[in-house]
Amino acid sequence: MIRFRNITLCVALLAGATASYSDIVHTPTDFVVGDVWIPAPEELFELDLDSNGTIDFTLAAGMTHFSGISSSNPDVNKYLILSSPPPNIGGSVAALDSGYVISPNSGEGTSEEWFGLEGWDPFIILLSTGETGEFIDHRGYVGLQFEAEDGIHYGWLDIEGVLTRSSIRIRGWAYESTPGVGIVAGAVPEPSSIVLFAIGAFGAWTLRKRKNANNH
């Protein structure tokens, strides 16, 4: 039996509250998928990016030889890959650098392209005959496109290959809440002006309190 992780439970227990400032919604996490031998060598993680109750992507990972991603709706829910040469279909998931612009135009003039598959495109493949995948002992961003009720959104998933294994560590994800607008890989929300004002006011209050104490 393959073990599932429910996204809501994981976020509540491991990620903490989702930050939502500006137009970027960011969910920081830090946990490993594919770190169990029992009850199954592979573990599935269902990713609901916007927490609307609909699974957008499923991640699979195991300790032995494979980890990858699958789309719940390949026509619109897609990820950036490095496509394999014909007649192969799909390819390895691209590990994007921080600052890469994830948008409808991603892949134009580059080696990446948008792709969606109900099967699996790999993060990591480890076999006795060789290994492949951009996330082998490497941390990078996965470019994501997914459909919500108000349209197509763009986001990123921060993952890292676990040393000498095909397991993956999920560091978090984010998406642009405005449909059709791209997002920069690694971008997180800026604190709102209200939050900054509150921080500044607290700092001023603390300083004034210290001065008053010194005067006494």
Q: Tokens 């405005």 belong to which residue? A: 178
Q: Give the predicted TM-score (pTM) of the model.
A: 0.79
For residue 5, list its beta bridge partners.
45
Q: CB-based burial of residue 97 (10 Å sphere; 0-12 exposed, 13-18 middle, 19+ buried)? A: exposed
194, two tokens: 């209200």
- Domain coordinates in residue numbering, the chain: 3-189
Rounded mean pLDDT for each run of 10 residues along the chain, 216 residues in total:
43 38 86 78 91 96 92 97 79 96 89 92 92 95 97 98 91 97 94 48 45 50
Residue 39, classed as helix, strand or coil, is coil
Which has the closest alpha carbon to 145: 132, 137, 154, 156? 154
